[in-house]
Chain A
Amino acid sequence: MSTSKSDNPYVPELAVIEKIITETSDTKTFRAVFQNEALRESFTYEPGQFQEVSVFGVGEATFCLTSTPTRKGYIEFAVKKVGTVTSALQDIDEGATVGIRAPLGNWFPYNDFKGKDLLFIGGGIGMAPMRSLLNFCLDNRADYGKIDIIYGARSSGDLSFQYEFDDWSKSPNTNLYLTIDKPEDGWTKNVGFVPAYLMDLKPSPENTIAITCGPPIMIKFVLQNLRELGFTDEQIWTTLEMKMKCGIGKCGRCNIGHKYVCIDGPVFSNAQLAELPPEY
């Protein structure tokens, strides 16, 4: 028996970077289109899933899919410069070829969220994985109740996806609450940390799902505050970041207890996380 490209799960699909959007000083969003036309048509995924992106000659790194499957033909991922592959990606130009293994992992149980109010709480680059679900819900607006988005960053220049803020806030029954850490000239929105802003806004836990993602320290206080507001662990969802290589449960590095973040996650409810050892 031979191992052909199609059954070797470590061989990526080739994709062309069609568009690069500079989000912040260290973050860019890449729009990739599969070279294989049939795949371009058939490829689909779910909000919350992730992918392994190859820069040939450098290596592979893990990124969430930040685009929504409701908008077909391309996929997007946001990259913050932290390591080798992420730095290499910052340097490539539109038209470059990358490798993509996707979709990987589980996703937000958006069917269970139907009919409920949604509260998105994001910090910095943490907005990237939530953007997929957010745009998915906005594209299926009738399925969901009120949508509140609390999004914060260090400064206004550190807010990603600004070109979509209008679409978000103009969507019916949807509110976008922006906040930055320190005052800035011309900034008319809130100033303060995300967890504190959450307490100012005091969203009701009634029939609401909270989805949060951001730096660990923000998450820690957001969770505390959500509980104080009356949210139960079952109502809080997050997506975890973990060192990953294979993305398919084989290489062994992303476990938390007996769960693998790459296949049992990256999306977990707080109730699910409470069952796992505190090792993430």
Chain B
Amino acid sequence: MEAKVIAKSDIGAWMKGLADKCDVIAPVKDGDVSAFKKIEDFGTLSIDLPTPTVKGLREQFTPETETLFEYKLTGQQAELTSDTAAQKDRLIFGVRACDAAALKYTDAVNANCEPKDALYFAKRKQTTLVGVCCTTPAWSCFCTEIGDFLANPIMMDLYLTDIGDKYYAEALTPKGETLIGASQFQAATDADKQAAESAKQKVIAALPSPIDHAEKGKDFDWDDPMFTKLAEKCLACGACTFLCPTCHCFDIQECAQGSKGSRYRCWDTCQFEKFTLMGHGHNPRPSKNERTRQRVFHKFKYSPERYGILGCVGCGRCITACPVNIDIQRVVHKLEADK
């Protein structure tokens, strides 16, 4: 597909132009943390690109808390309403290659058996994604071990690579082609193309080499003694899984207010004891041993078995977030060595 360039100084104007048609969302600093936020003021554009956002794109498609429907009770009767108000189209700018790749996985999950998750796919359909190639990966990044999407991005419409005072912009979908039709984009020269290529190669060279984790995951040892070790220190919090761009587990809860209320879903995780606890007290994953195994096995063994792709994109978020330094990259390497 086509590629063009856009001057960094033109990004603000370009986005402002887009904002007439859709919400423009980009990473901005919110105190200490970088988060995707709707951009309102394009004059003082303060997009925070160097640091990856604390959360990936999960909340954009499955918000932390999402109302499923509302109900009203009158005596023995019930009346249900689910919000059908159309959402505005939106463009998310500054998406990491790993976070976009994670959508391949969450798409598969949300299409896991009929009915598909209409709430998720409605938001997917309405979203245009503009990615940026990372120039300064975090210490915990290992995406190149998982796939080659940093060089060959997937699941996004346009991919920008920093080449000095401008971005090399590759359209990956028809939506992306339309985007680079905007007046701020100029034709790319061969030099631009080469600059982008070498910028990508420079980052990739600093990152780990590919490993066929899906293949190796087949032989993971169910009884690997490492899980007892991890369970000892794991705090059973949700930091790793709530920040993970592929984690998708949720709970369904009721918010009752007298004769009316709502049913909502909210993020949940296999790391919480109650996740699998049944009403009569039986729990198939009764201790942290089983629960730490579930996270790693789900991502590196079950997911390839079920969906044909890994449930990890190597974004490193769980690694930086874990308060006790449980490092999934190390854990997986060890499991692969132990088998």
Contacts from A to B (Cβ < 8 Å): 1-5, 7-12, 14, 16, 54, 56-61, 82-84, 86, 93, 95-99, 216, 241-243, 245-246, 248-260, 263, 277, 279-280
Distance in angstroms between the alpha carbons of A5 and B302 in the assembled complex = 32
Decide yes or no: A1 and B125 within 8 Å by CB, A8-B69, A250-B117 being known contacts: yes
CB <8 Å contact, B113 and A248 = yes
C-alpha spacing A280/B276, complex, angstroms: 10
A4 and B76 contacting across the interface, CB-CB below 8 Å? no
Query: Whole-angstrom distance between the alpha carbons of A259 and B305 in the complex?
Result: 9
Assess whether A3 is in contact with B83, with CB atoms less than 8 Å apart: yes
Within the assembled complex, what's the spacing in Å between the Cα atoms of A163 and B294?
Answer: 44
Q: Is the CB of A248 within 8 A of B115?
A: yes
CB-contact partner of A253 in B82, B275, B290, B305, under 8 A: B275
Interface of chain A: mostly helix, strand, loop or mixed: loop
Would you call B305 and A258 a contact (CB within 8 A)? yes
Q: Hey, which chain A residues are within 8 Å of B305, CB to CB?
A: 257-258
CB distance from A9 to the nearest CB of B (A): 4
Min CB gap B204→A, angstroms: 31
* B82 lies within 8 A of A5 (CB): yes
Residues of A within 8 A of B80 (CB): 5, 11-12, 14, 99
Chain B residues with CB under 8 Å of A14's CB are 78, 80
Top 10 nearest A-B pairs (CB, nearest first) are A83-B279, A252-B249, A258-B302, A82-B279, A258-B305, A9-B115, A249-B112, A10-B68, A7-B118, A57-B256
Interchain CA distance A178-B109 in the complex, whole Å: 44
Chain A proximity of B288: nearest CB distance (Å)? 14
Q: A253 CA to B268 CA in the complex, in Å? A: 9
With a cutoff of 8 Å between Cβ atoms, the chain A residues found around residue B113 in the complex are 248-249, 263
State whether A56 touches B261 (Cβ < 8 A): yes
What chain A residues lie within 8 Å of B280 (beta carbons)?
A: 82-83
Q: Which residue of A lies closest to B85 (CB)?
A: A2
Asked if A57 contacts B261 (CB within 8 A), the reply is yes
Question: Contact check: which of A4, A10, A82, A98 meets B252 at CB < 8 Å?
Answer: A10
Q: How far is the CA of A99 from the CA of B256 in the complex (A)?
A: 15
Please indicate which of the listed interface residues B222, B251, B278, B279 has the most CB atoms of chain A within 10 Å of its own CB.
B279
Which of A5, A10, A82 has the largest number of chain B CB atoms within 10 A?
Answer: A10
Q: Determine how close the nearest CB of chain A comes to the CB of B241; give it in whole angstroms.
A: 10
Chain B 216-230: CB-based contact to A (< 8 A → 1; otherwise 0): 000000100000000
In B272-299, the 8 Å CB interface with A consists of 275-280, 282, 284-285, 290, 294, 297-298
Chain B residues contacting A260 (CB-CB under 8 Å) are 112
B278 with A1: CB separation less than 8 A = no
Are A8 and B256 in contact, CB atoms less than 8 angstroms apart?
no
Q: Is B9 engaged at the interface, CB distance under 8 Å to the other chain?
A: no
A245 touches B276 (CB 8 A): no
Interface CB pairs A-B, < 8 A, 18: A2-B86, A4-B82, A9-B116, A10-B252, A11-B69, A56-B254, A56-B261, A57-B71, A58-B254, A83-B279, A96-B76, A242-B276, A243-B278, A245-B250, A252-B249, A253-B276, A257-B302, A258-B305
B117-A9 in contact (CB<8A): yes
Q: Judging by beta carbons under 8 Å apart, are A251 and B249 in contact?
A: yes
- In Å, the complex CA distance between A102 and B218 comes to 35
| Complex CA distance for A35 and B64, rounded to whole angstroms | 33
What is the size, in residues, of chain B's interface with A at 8 Å between Cβ atoms?
A: 59
- The answer on a CB contact under 8 Å between A241 and B278 is yes
Residue interface mask B78-116, A partner, CB < 8 A = 1: 101011111000000000000000000000011011111
Q: Is B77 in contact with chain A by the CB < 8 A criterion?
A: yes
A216 to B282, CA, bound (A): 10
**Please, how many angstroms separate the alpha-carbon atoms of A245 and B270 in the complex?**
13
Query: How close is B282's CB to chain A, nearest CB, in angstroms?
Result: 7
In Å, the complex CA distance between A168 and B305 comes to 43
> Any chain A CB within 8 A of the CB of B8?
no
The yes or no answer to B175 lying at the interface (CB within 8 A) is no
Which A residues are in CB contact (< 8 Å) with B16?
none
Min CB distance B260 to A, Å, is 9
Q: Which of chain B's residues have a CB closer than 8 A to the CB of A12?
A: 80
Out of A3, A83, A251, which one reaches B268, CB within 8 Å? A251
| Nearest A residue to B261, CB-CB | A57
Return A36 CB to nearest CB of chain B, in Å: 12
Verify if B126 is at the interface (C-beta below 8 Å from A).
yes
* Chain B, range 50-73, C-beta contacts under 8 Å to A: 68-69, 71, 73
B202 at the interface (CB under 8 A from A): no
Give the CA-CA distance A2 to B89 in the complex, in Å: 12
Q: Which residues of A contact B125 (CB under 8 A)?
A: 1
What is the distance, in angstroms, from B223's C-beta to the closest C-beta of chain A? 10
For the complex, what is the distance from the CA of A96 to the CA of B77, rounded to whole Å? 7
Q: What residues of B have a CB within 8 angstroms of the CB of A54 in the complex?
A: 263
B265 sits at the interface (CB 8 A): yes
| In the complex, B334 has a CB within 8 A of chain A | no
User: Chain A residues with Cβ under 8 A from B259's Cβ?
Assistant: 57
What is the bound-complex CA distance between A73 and B123, given in angstroms? 37
Chain B residues near A86 (CB-CB < 8 A): 279
The reply to whether B256 and A58 contact each other, CB–CB distance below 8 Å, is yes
Q: Is the CB of B112 within 8 A of A250?
A: yes
- Provide the residues of chain B in CB contact with A280, threshold 8 Å: 284
Known: A2-B122, A9-B117. A263 touches B112 (CB 8 A): yes
A245 close to B251 (CB less than 8 A): yes
